[in-house]
Amino acid sequence: MDAYQIYHFLFETPAGVGILVLGGIIVCIILSALMEVKTRKTFVDRGEKKDDEDDWFFDDGDEDEIDDDSSTSDK
């Protein structure tokens, strides 16, 4: 099998494009897992987690405060 046949299969057939997409997804998953392991090794001990801390990445808590304030003002 020469380089032209491999190129033709990967870039000009639906099966080849699917293999490229799935391969890209698998590579991204492997790289993200490796980076996560490295990050966990770097930041091992950050102390105990407080009760008011949650696991949301992008939540700054403003929405919860607004909802809590509106519910307490009705009482």
- Does the pTM surpass 0.95? The reply is no
Residue 59 forms part of a structural domain: no
Residue 19 belongs to what domain range? 1-43
Sign of CA dihedral 51, 55, 57, 61: negative
Residue given tokens 């980076």 in the structure block: 35
Separation of alpha carbons 27 and 34, rounded Å: 11
Predicted local distance difference test score (pLDDT) of residue 40: 86
Confidence of residue 63 (pLDDT cuts 50, 70, 90): low
Residue 33 forms part of a structural domain: yes
Largest pairwise CA distance in the chain: 77
Q: How many separate domains does the chain show?
A: 1
Residue 70 forms part of a structural domain: no
Residue 69 forms part of a structural domain: no
Residue 51 DSSP label? T
Angle between helices 14-42 and 3-12 (to 10 degrees): 80
